């Protein structure tokens, strides 16, 4: 690690096992190309850990390595005189344009282990293919700019913080990639894999498909904005926000206090009468009708519950609700469809290594069941308004 600004640059270099795992995914697609000219790029190359293994596995590959940090570039040039090496700030449009090594549609493949930071609230606006706009985390923004540099049909393999798959902030962008760019997860890696960084990571791959063939989406602030004339959402997904431990400090005062039921994962197997009644201000997140299911915890067909009552619900942070918009589907039909497809929810929740589902996963699953679904966006800090 270079000492001067290693932290600023997020220089957590890939250990050999991680680099091997990335190269395995790439090699499975390219190892038949023994004498064809093809180019592999890493725009956050660091000291070249990923590219070194790639070039061992794919000796025919022409290697292009760029980074923001000049001290990494100096070491890269010394160690790999045959590689094309240059300085690019991958998140800066002017820097990308100024470099002959950043060319849209040029590369056959990329590998990347982008800077991890931005795991907190930091977001970046990305324009992809000129008219698609996403707001996402910094690692995902690096992924989009790398994807833009691929030729159609090219393959990218990336190490991402697990938070990219689990956060609401990235859910719209990840879902778009899943739908349109064959985005898939290959392996999960626990904390301790990167020396000095306590971060869980995933290795993902994606393919550059032509955007003309895929539905366009404008995503601003994590919310998909459908162009006029496109069909509206059939369903709205609520992600509960209220932890059990905060219930004691829940205050309701003055006008507009309403009686509500609080529902936690363990309540989903009880009758409504067993659910806790609480008084809340009417501006908090209230769900009146929907099919509830666990966000955290094991899922079985019986853990999907339909709710429709005059007493609204406050959802625990371990519960999702999916609600039909304007009678697009009856609650009973929606419940049956979700129960029948319980297996895909179980498989997805197990895939994250712990029994829980992310917003992005649920959006993908419901989408595959043929519904268009949007996430209910909270307008205040953690509680959603009853807005539809």
Footprint of ligand SAM on this chain (CB under 6 A)?
A: 9-14, 42-46, 49-50, 67-69, 72, 88-91, 113, 115
- Cβ at position 386, least distance to ligand SAM in Å: 41
Q: How far apart are CA 125 and CA 181, in angstroms?
A: 19
- Cβ at position 5, least distance to ligand SAM in Å: 8
- Cβ at position 117, least distance to ligand SAM in Å: 9
Q: Is 203 or 285 the residue whose CB approaches ligand SAM more closely?
A: 203
Residue (of 263, 144, 281, 203) closest to 25 by Cα position = 203
Q: Is 128 or 356 the residue whose CB approaches ligand SAM more closely?
A: 128
- Cβ at position 207, least distance to ligand SAM in Å: 21
Q: Is 146 or 171 the residue whose CB approaches ligand SAM more closely?
A: 146
- DSSP class per residue in 143-205: HHHHHHTEEEEEEEEEEEETHHHH-STTHHHHHHHHHHS--EEEEEE-TTSBTTB---EEEEE
Q: Is 90 or 366 the residue whose CB approaches ligand SAM more closely?
A: 90
In total, the chain counts a number of residues equal to 388
User: How far is CA 194 from its chain centroid?
Assistant: 21
CB-based burial label for 285 (10 Å; 0-12, 13-18, 19+): buried
Q: How far apart are CA 164 and CA 359, in angstroms?
A: 11
Q: Is 26 or 44 the residue whose CB approaches ligand SAM more closely?
A: 44
- Cβ at position 92, least distance to ligand SAM in Å: 7
Q: Is 2 or 283 the residue whose CB approaches ligand SAM more closely?
A: 2
- Cβ at position 27, least distance to ligand SAM in Å: 17
Which residue's Cβ lies closest to ligand SAM? 46
Q: Is 159 or 314 the residue whose CB approaches ligand SAM more closely?
A: 159
Asked if 296 contacts 318 with a C-beta cutoff of 8 angstroms, the reply is yes
- Cβ at position 1, least distance to ligand SAM in Å: 9
- Cβ at position 15, least distance to ligand SAM in Å: 8
Q: Is 116 or 262 the residue whose CB approaches ligand SAM more closely?
A: 116
CB-based burial label for 325 (10 Å; 0-12, 13-18, 19+): middle
Asked if 304 contacts 346 with a C-beta cutoff of 8 angstroms, the reply is no
Strands (E), the chain: 38-42, 61-67, 84-87, 107-112, 124-128, 132-136, 150-161, 184-189, 201-207, 218-220, 223-225, 235-239, 257-263, 276-281, 287-294, 305-315, 319-324, 373-375
């Amino acid at each position: 690690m270079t000492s001067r600004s290693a932290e600023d640059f997020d220089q957590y270099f890939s250990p050999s096992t991680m680099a091997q795992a990335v190269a395995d995914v790439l090699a499975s697609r390219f190892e038949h190309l023994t004498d064809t000219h093809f180019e592999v790029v890493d725009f956050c190359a660091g000291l070249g850990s990923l590219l070194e293994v790639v070039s061992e596995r794919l000796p025919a590959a022409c290697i292009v390595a760029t980074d923001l940090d000049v001290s990494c570039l100096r070491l890269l040039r010394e160690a790999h005189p045959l590689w094309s090496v240059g300085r690019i700030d991958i998140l800066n449009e002017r820097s990308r344009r100024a470099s002959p090594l950043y060319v849209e549609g040029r590369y056959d493949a990329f590998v990347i282990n982008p800077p991890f930071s931005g795991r907190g609230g930091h977001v970046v606006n990305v324009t992809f293919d000129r008219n698609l706009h996403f707001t996402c985390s910094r690692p995902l923004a690096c992924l989009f700019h790398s994807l833009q540099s691929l030729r159609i049909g090219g393959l990218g393999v990336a190490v991402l913080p697990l938070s990219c798959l689990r956060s609401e902030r990235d859910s719209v962008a990840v879902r778009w990639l899943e739908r349109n760019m064959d985005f898939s997860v290959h392996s999960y890696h626990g904390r301790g894999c990167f020396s000095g960084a306590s971060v869980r990571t995933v290795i993902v791959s994606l393919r550059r498909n032509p955007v003309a063939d895929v539905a366009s989406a404008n995503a601003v602030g994590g919310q998909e904005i459908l162009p006029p004339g496109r069909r509206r959402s059939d369903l709205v997904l609520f992600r509960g926000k209220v932890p059990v431990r905060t219930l004691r400090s829940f205050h309701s005062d003055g006008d507009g206090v309403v009686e509500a039921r609080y529902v936690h994962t363990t309540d989903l197997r009880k009758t409504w009468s067993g659910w806790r009644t609480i008084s809340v201000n009417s501006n908090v997140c209230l769900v009146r009708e929907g099919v509830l299911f666990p966000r955290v915890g094991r899922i079985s067909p019986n853990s999907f519950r339909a709710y429709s009552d005059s007493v609204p619900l406050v959802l625990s942070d371990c519960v999702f609700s999916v609600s039909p918009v304007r009678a697009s589907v009856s609650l009973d039909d929606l419940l049956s469809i979700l129960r029948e497809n319980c297996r895909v929810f179980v498989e997805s929740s197990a895939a994250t290594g712990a029994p829980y589902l992310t917003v992005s996963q649920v959006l993908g699953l419901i989408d595959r069941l043929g519904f268009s679904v949007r996430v209910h966006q909270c307008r205040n800090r953690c509680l959603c308004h009853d807005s539809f």
